[in-house]
C-alpha cells in the first residue's frame, strides 16, 4: 500500500501546486485515523482466531479465482475477427 500512496500523492501534486502538501498530509492523517478506528472496532467485536481464519479463507478464494480471470483474455498471437 505504500507505493500506491506515493504514486497517488505525487500524481495529485503534479496536477496542483506544491504548497498543497500540508493539506494532503492533513487529509491523509484524518483518513488514517478513521481507517484505524474502524479497523479496531471490527477487530474488537470478533474472536481474533475466527476473524483471522475468515480473512485467510477470503484470500484463498481470491487467489484461487484470480488465475481464472486471465482465461478469457485472448492472447497476442490470436487474431480477433468480428
Q: What span, in angstroms and rounded, lies between the C-alpha atoms of 55 and 39? A: 13
> What is the per-residue pLDDT for 75?
63
In the block, cell 504514486 appears at 7
Residues contacting residue 51 through CB under 8 Å, at least 6 positions apart: 42, 43
Domain ranges in the chain are 2-70
What torsion, rounded to 10 degrees, do the Cα atoms 21, 23, 27, 29 define?
60
- pLDDT digit string (tens) for 10-62? 777 777 777 778 888 898 899 999 999 998 888 888 888 998 999 999 999 99
Amino acid at each position: 500500500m505504500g507505493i500506491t500512496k506515493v504514486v497517488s500523492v505525487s500524481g495529485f501534486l503534479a496536477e496542483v501546486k506544491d504548497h498543497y502538501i500540508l493539506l494532503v498530509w492533513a487529509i491523509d492523517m484524518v483518513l488514517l485515523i478513521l481507517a484505524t478506528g474502524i479497523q479496531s472496532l471490527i477487530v474488537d467485536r470478533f474472536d481474533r482466531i475466527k476473524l483471522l481464519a475468515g480473512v485467510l479463507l477470503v484470500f484463498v478464494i481470491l487467489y484461487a479465482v484470480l488465475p481464472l480471470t486471465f482465461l478469457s483474455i485472448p492472447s497476442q498471437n490470436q487474431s480477433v475477427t468480428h
